[in-house]
A and B are shown apart, each in its own frame.
Chain A
Amino acid sequence: MTLKLGRHEFADDATLMMAIVNRTPDSFYDQGATWTEGKAFERVAQVVAQGAEIVDIGGIKAAPGAEVDVEEEKGRIVELVARVREAFPGLVISVDTWRAAVGEAVCRAGADVLNDAWGGADPELVDVAASYDAAIICTHTGGVTPRTRPHRIEYDDVVAAAIADTVAYAERAVAAGVDPRSAVIDPAHDFGKNTFHSLELTRRLGEMVDTGWPVLVSLSNKDFVGETLDLPVGERLLGTLAATAVCAMAGARIYRVHEVVETRQVVDMAWTIAGRRPPARAIRGLQ
């Protein structure tokens, strides 16, 4: 199915890099490196130059931490969204928020996608997406409260749970008026999951792809990579890229990433191995 992300449409076989842009002082990977609006805008320009089709702007770190209320969240990101919209009309702007009030403000400022990392915690977010013809990312968290860590969560079948919840969320979004081409599902590695859950979701990602909804994966430098390889943040790129290759073979369409260039190469390579993309230029043995 054609993917429609707000103002932008993409063909069935397109893979997309969604670059993370944190307008936060405390996110786990960059520790506030792009906290000021100027630095965040520079990061946008950098990832656009690197070929990212999407930026995912967030104003609250996912992990527990200082309370950020609606007004503070809007204050961090709305103006940035407007500035990016004006500077990069061809860029897909996604905003990482679970709050409908924030979603409304950023859509008015030019956002194309609402990335609800917390699995529908605010039921009115879908109505905002529908009102502004925005796309919505429907994640699976196992029903946890936003900004909490998983604790002793277990599933009979984590993949079945992820499929059931994300597909139900996507169908709810469409029922609310979201364009069926604009609902994306995301198993949400690490969210409401231990490392074994995230590994199983990676291994069985094809089952999510088989639902027919476009699949987003957010793997970048996460704890399941770190625990698998016993490596701290900052040393997880290779593990991230290995997981990325597995997800690309399975058919994931959107990759939420810190490292755009490296991920693009891995996805193109895996996508080509899978027979969904031709080589760039092939002459070896064919002269």
Chain B
Amino acid sequence: MPYALREAFSAFRRAPLLTALSVVAIAFSLLVVGLFGLTAYNIHLAITGVEERVEVVAYLRDSASEAQVGIAREEIAAMPEVSELRYVSKTEALATAMRELSEFRDLFLDMEANPLPASIEVRLRPGSRDPTTVEALAATLAAYPFVEDVRFGQEWLERIFVLRRIAGGVALVIGGAFAAVAAIIIGSAVRVAVFARRDEISIMRLVGATDGFIRLPFLLEGLITGILGGAVAVGLTFLAYRIVSVALIEVAWIPVEWVLLGVLAGTALGFAASALAVRRHLRAV
């Protein structure tokens, strides 16, 4: 192993520019993934925050009888996705409106009848706050004959989910493209290293070194390049995070497992690319 490691490092000394290029290419491909991770994580946090407020409100007709509403309340509260249910009577609604919309206070006072409907506000359990469940629940509520209208934050909820999907797709495409470029650059780095060591390789074959032994330095070289690339990507992602945090909006840093996963991905990329390249180029020596 010391021999292989020594040779791997000597390859860096031999072609520092190419090594740097390989590291940068891997770093960029993973930076894209890292930025996506940062975005996705913060969207996730935002959604979780907003989701807690996901509420489906059913406005009741004035004709609804107390008995009907009582039964409906029990039925709805028993649904598995419902965590909390609150009944807001017409009087309560008016009181809230007058409190929150004080500029219309006089208007409300002048009215002979209370124009605001009673409502049932339903909160959902975590895990049941996705658009599909919310819509399904809204449809169930709307089916009660005494329910006049159902409201929920349908549009923004869908938009956030779409946004997350788009960000994922974009990161996949750009990250994939950078990964391919990284693999190509690593491939040429291996080719240069094989070429520089062709005399050694032919002697190794002559005296009976195994293929695995001959390949090991190149694989280690790819592995080290990958680790460095992954580490640089983490650094760059952190830099981007700081810049956004300071200059734009407060965002959260990604969990440490994601960081480790990123470095691991870089390592795997470097290793796989050099394994492929060394297989190809060693044949030519």
Co-assembled chains A and B: no
Q: Which residues of B pack against A, CB within 8 Å? A: none
